[in-house]
Amino acid sequence: MKRRREDGQSIHTREPDAEAAGSQETLKAVKHKRSVHRKYKDTSHPVYITAVRKACDLVKDARRNIKKCLAGKIKEDRKSFFAYVRSKSNSNITVRSLENENGQVISDSEEKAEKLPCAPILWLQDWSAR
């Protein structure tokens, strides 16, 4: 859900978007859960527990409906499908610390870059030991 600050820039809140949540009922349940938590400040209070269960169920149903809609319209609307898939893939590729011939650990990026062409043999051996 987007709101605007005084200077006109948008503020992104953690509330689910109306179309992403599926319905106004879902948004209302999430807001109610948050207001109950603010009121009682206790996660074991019975009112909060029921509010959490209702909000979680509605959000799960809404997400399920979004996936069904995307799957049903994949032939006509590929752009939204691939946008959804791209948003779900989090690939953060990092190079682990390497060892040189003497057994010393290399953690500096420049040294890793110099060592990397001959390093696959060392880290493949490390992975096979796991």
> How many whole angstroms separate alpha carbon 95 and alpha carbon 93?
7
- Asked whether the beta carbons of 105 and 99 are under 8 A apart, the reply is yes
Cα 58–chain centre separation: 19
50 belongs to a structural domain = yes
Based on the fold, state whether residues 81 and 17 are members of the same structural domain.
yes
Rounded to whole angstroms, how far apart are CA atoms 50 and 102?
60
- pLDDT class of 17 with cuts at 50, 70, 90: very low
Check residue 33 and give its pLDDT: 96
- Cβ atoms of 26 and 16 within 8 Å: the answer is yes
Do 54 and 114 lie in one domain? The reply is no
The residue with greater pLDDT, 111 or 28, is 28
In total, how many domains does the chain have?
Answer: 2
Q: 3-state DSSP call for residue 98?
A: strand
What residues contact residue 56 under an 8 Å CB cut-off, 6+ apart? none
Give dist(CA 75, CA 7) in Å, integer. Answer: 42
d(CA 47, CA 24): 21
State whether residue 92 is helix, strand or coil: coil
Burial of 88 (0-12, 13-18, 19+ CB in 10 A): exposed
Q: Are residues 33 and 81 in the same domain?
A: yes
For residue range 99-118, what is the model confidence (pLDDT) as tens digits? 877 888 887 878 777 777 65
Comparison of pLDDT for 124 and 42, the residue scoring more: 42
**Does 54 map to a domain?**
yes
| Together in a domain, 16 and 74 | yes
Q: Answer whether residue 9 shows pLDDT above 80.
A: no
Residue 93 lies in a domain: no
Query: Could you tell me the pLDDT band of residue 55, with boundaries at 50, 70 and 90?
Result: very high
